Amino acid sequence: MRDDLLVEVVRGDIVESWHCGAMVLLDEAGDVRLSLGDTSALMYPRSSLKPAQAAAMVRNGLDLEPRLLALATASHSGGAGHVAGVEEILAKYGRTAADLQCPESLPLGATERDAHLREGGTPDRLHFNCSGKHAGFIGTCVVNHWTVASYLDPQHPMQRAALAVAEELTGELVTTVTVDGCGAPLFAVSLVGLARLFRSVATAPADSPEGLIASAMRHFPEMVAGPGRDDTIAMQLMPGLISKIGAEGVIAFALPDGRAGAVKVSDGTARGHQPVLRAVLGAWGLADDAVAQLPVAPVLGGGRSMGQTRVSARLAAALA
């Protein structure tokens, strides 16, 4: 994968660290507006794939209110509302947490994790950040009388349906499949394909499966991630935006007018994509005071700001 310089970390007057990677932006017509790095190379979208997986669930009969449908796309923080929502999905389809096949985990969010531990909580599957997606998989299996016990098998009808939707929305044939951190099949696509996927979801007719996914994410951004998290804040600040991070430095996002983007930071850190999201949303019209509310890693010395994490000069110029 050919990298390009995306982000610099400046301490005092010196660039102390930098993050390289690749990114692509599509314009309203779906044409490539900006491309840095190798945007055609295969990469793993990780949890940025979830809107496509959720669309496959809805296409195959999963019927959830928008709040719970947003949770099916989530990498949630493990708050009380998230966990209760997962239990609601399972209960609707006559199942329990015992049917979940994601790993046991403490909550992903630091605040939520601390609260869970104070209450004597231990790792469990409900608190795993992908438990909403897994509950959606299970509900779809129940609706279709598919075997629940093997719902993570790549040859299971649920996963074959997810693969078909991913191929359709990315416009790419998936040739490489592995296993994601949650245990679900994970499909390798290009960054351009991932941006196309998000564009397809963001611009879909309101009553289509993809349109229902987009609406759920927009109306319940707190269910997609959680308080203080990149996706939640970005969607709260920019009306119409859908945004979803993935592990290892991935983020994808799109607006209803067709503009879309995807980023992969090669060293796998979220610190690398945060300034990029800020810069892109600013270029797309988000007000400066709102841009300033988007998370970005501080550069501190003795508890005081000693620098900044910023996009590269080349990227800044390309967005101008």
> pLDDT, tens digit, for every residue of 141-154?
999 999 999 999 99
Q: Is 218 exposed, middle or buried (0-12, 13-18, 19+ CB in 10 A)?
A: buried
**Predicted confidence band of residue 1 (pLDDT cuts 50, 70, 90):** low
For residue 71, which of 46, 45, 90, 93 has the smallest C-alpha distance?
Answer: 90
User: At 270, is the secondary structure helix, strand, or coil?
Assistant: helix
Q: Compute the residue count for the chain.
A: 320
- Number of domains the chain contains: 1
pLDDT tens digits along 66-104: 999 999 999 999 999 999 999 999 999 999 999 999 999
Phi first, then psi: what are they for 230, rounded to 5°?
-55, -55
Question: Can you give the pLDDT at residue 167?
Answer: 98
pLDDT of residue 108 exceeding 90? yes
- Where do runs of H (alpha helix) occur along the chain? 50-59, 66-72, 80-92, 110-118, 131-144, 157-170, 191-202, 209-219, 221-224, 230-237, 270-283, 288-291, 313-319
pLDDT tens digits along 206-226: 999 999 999 999 999 999 999
CATH number at 198 reads 3.40.710
Q: Which two tokens mark 241?
A: 């935006």
Among residues of the chain, what percentage have pLDDT more than 90? Answer: 99
Whole-prediction pTM: 0.96
For residue 64, which of 150, 140, 160, 166 has the smallest C-alpha distance?
Answer: 140
Among residues of the chain, what percentage have pLDDT more than 70? Answer: 100
Q: At what angle do helices 157-170 and 191-202 cross, to 10 degrees?
A: 90
Residue 137 domain boundaries: 4-319
Question: Can you give the pLDDT at residue 2?
Answer: 82
Average pLDDT, the chain: 97
Residue 242, CA atoms < 13 Å, CB-side half-sphere = 34
pLDDT tens digits along 160-180: 999 999 999 999 999 999 999
| Spatial distance between the Cα atoms of 72 and 197, rounded to a whole number of angstroms | 17
